[in-house]
Amino acid sequence: MMLTRFLFERIDRGGWVFLVLLGIAAVLVPVLNLAVPPGSMFHVSNTAVGLWGKYMTYALLAIAVDLVWGYCGILSLGHGAFFALGGYAMGMYLMLQIGPRGVYAHPTLPDFMVFLNWTELPVAWWGFSSFPYAMLMVALVPGLLAFVFGWFAFRSRVTGVYLSIITQALTYALMLAFFRNDMGFGGNNGLTDFKDILGFNIQSQTTRAVLFSLSVLALMAGYLVARAIVTSKAGKIIIAIRDAEPRTRFLGYRVENFKLFVWTVSAVMAGIAGALYVPQVGIINPSEFSPANSIEAIVWVAVGGRGTLVGAALGAGLVNFAKSWFTGAFPQGWLFALGGLFILVTLFLPKGILGTFTDWWKRRGETRKPPTASPASQPAE
Amino acid sequence: MLIDPMETQLPADPVKAIERPQVVTQSLLYLDGVSVSFDGFRAINNLSLIIAPGEMRAIIGPNGAGKTTMMDIITGKTKPDAGDVIFDGQIDLTQLDETAIANLGIGRKFQKPTVFEMHTVEVNIEMAVKADRTVFGTLFSRQSAAIGRRVDDILGIVRLGDHRNRLAGDLSHGQKQWLEIGMLLAQDPKLLLVDEPAAGMTDVETGATADLLKDIARTHSVVVVEHDMGFIRELGVKVTCLHEGSVLAEGSLDQVSADERVIEVYLGR
């Protein structure tokens, strides 16, 4: 009761439109995919379900990035690390579900461990055959890493471009570590060849449709949590920290604690997104830690509109849709297009698509109404 | 740093020196022998200053005299190399950070007006009003009538009632100065440090600001740094002139401005 009020009380009209559209998609897409015959014009193809399911997890990552960057001014160039860690936790569960069906038919060990002549499961893998434990790790591992990282970084007052560089280094270091075979996470091949999740065949179209719906629900939940945070009084302080950090400190707020809070929440959100991503694409490997991925997430948010949440999700969808189309039509041109897009948005749409649209909508409303004597038009004393 | 950085409130047992002399315990702010250097430059040099409870003090001095650095030291932004900074007769401020000092009851207005430009005037004040300042306290806090009334009061005092729903970034320079003073008041501090409140104001605004500060000084201790001698004359309080990081002269404005050395370094002949 308290929680529903906390989550739903301060959603604006745009937010409701976003939630309703997502709710419709969560129900309609699986129905149109499974129940409508492939010949019909209303049929949603299996490829589309997989693709849009992936976009939903990207959108959740974008909201996580927007929460720290758009509202708290922390430009993270390493959020892909939290996404990948969540993905690895899910991947480890899925690997242990394969059981004796692997290529080497070992009863407990995943194929790559048999290949490396390991005889028993490394400690880091203990417990991952349990789904609840794996789900706990999906949130806990990125959350804990973010907490420890943030604890030191924010306490030492590392800000701005220095912090961005450290986050970049963090994800790069993790990438190098996960590339190593002796880390025990599959080296450069990563984790793949998944068979089933909670006993359901991961390849079956029903499972894939359910995973799509779950991704949409996770995106909705992520939006609700982020929206509740940024509209609370704590959210106002977080925005204040973004705009005038010393002022906030001299008002008596512990800036580092507020930063640590949004940073950790955001990392957990990114981890959950990664965990939903892996079963849909069927693989997780160290390239998910690559700095380019994290930077791409920043571009999504910038394109959609930072500090809007809905815009971030929208940007993730649009940019990735463009990427899918582009890599099909001009495989060599995508990175140029992405770079060009970032430059264009920074120059001509500094508030992103949604921010620009909102401004235009407001101006339109003002010009239509007859001008009334508003306090804003009074002369300054 | 001896204080646990997680500690938001005043530590249960403030760092006390054994038996401080009466001059310390009866003062609100006591600076003794304070020095600080930046890369060999002595910004503050053996500075001593006593502010009594309820007092209003004006600080003048040429550029680079150490006025702003002194405020940095009092508010915990800069740690002194030597000397005592004692608040309320017993609390050693050199051991605390900005947040802890702000929560002890020292409010600070910056030289350049600093307000939260993306928030409305009302929200700016609301955030400053004394209330729970922890992450989870603010996350679940609900609008309270008491805070609303306090915001109304403050907006009335700083004459921004008509502008409450405007973005702070849209205010004029003078209005931003007042908003920041309003935020200071909302914190309900024991001591207000006000850095150049009249800078960039018109004569009318300067007069209004002097009235506002005199009003505030009836219930609070105030330290004002200012260059505008007309403004200081209007305040009519004790004046301290700083030069090269230490006190050059202290007394009424007439005494200080008659001082040969003050004329030499600051007022000019």
Buried b (16+ CB within 10 A) or exposed e, A96-122: bbbbeebeeebeebbbbbbbeeeeebe
- Residues of B in Cβ contact (< 8 Å) with A261: 135, 139
Is B1 touching A (CB cutoff 8 A)?
no
Distance from the Cα of B263 to chain A's closest Cα (Å) equals: 35
Q: Tell whether B76 is within 8 A of chain A (Cβ).
A: no
pLDDT of residue A369: 56
CA torsion angle B228 B230 B232 B233 (round to 10) = 160
ipTM value, please give it. 0.88
What is the Cα Rg of chain B in Å?
A: 19
Asked if residue B45 lies in contact with residue B244, where contact means CB atoms within 8 angstroms, the answer is yes
Looking at A220-294, which runs of residues are DSSP E strands? 283-284
Alpha-carbon gap, residue B262 to B269, rounded angstroms: 10
Q: Tell me if chain A has a CB within 8 Å of the CB of B108.
A: yes
Nearest one of A333, A63, A29 to A210, comparing CA atoms:
A29
Pairing label, strands B238-243, B246-251: antiparallel
State how far the Cα of B89 lies from the Cα of A78, in Å rounded to an integer: 48
Residue B142, pLDDT score = 85
Dihedral (Cα; A142, A148, A150, A154), 10-degree rounding: 180
Contact with chain B for residue A245, Cβ under 8 A? no
- Looking at the complex, does the CB of residue B127 fall below 8 Å from at least one CB of chain A? yes
In angstroms, the CA A95 to CA A1 distance is 39
Looking at residue B3, its pLDDT comes to 45
Q: Write the single-letter amino acid at B181.
A: I
pTM of the model: 0.91
Residue ranges of chain A whose pLDDT lies below 70:
368-381
3-state secondary structure of A191: strand
Nearest to A166 by CA among A153, A184, A175, A182: A153
Q: Identify the pLDDT of residue B20.
A: 74
pLDDT number for residue A380: 39
pLDDT at site B13: 53
**Measured between alpha carbons, how far is residue A40 from residues A21, A27, A32, A53 in Å?**
23, 18, 10, 21
Question: pLDDT (tens digit, 0 to 9) for every residue of chain B, 269 residues total?
Answer: 444 444 445 445 555 545 678 888 889 999 999 999 998 889 999 999 999 999 999 999 988 899 999 999 999 999 999 999 999 988 999 999 999 999 999 999 998 889 999 999 999 999 999 999 999 999 998 888 999 999 999 999 999 999 999 999 999 999 999 999 999 999 999 999 999 998 888 888 899 999 999 999 999 999 999 988 889 999 999 999 999 999 999 999 999 999 989 998 887 76
Work out the minimum CA distance from A306 to partner chain B, whole angstroms.
Answer: 14
Q: Closest-CA residue in chain A for B7?
A: A254
Please give the structure tokens belonging to residue A274: 């990664």
**Pairwise CB contact (< 8 Å): B159 & A240:** no
The verdict on a CB contact (< 8 Å) between B110 and A253 is no
Most distant CA pair in chain B: distance in Å?
Answer: 60
Whole-number pLDDT of residue A193: 93
Contact A253 B133 (CB under 8 A): yes
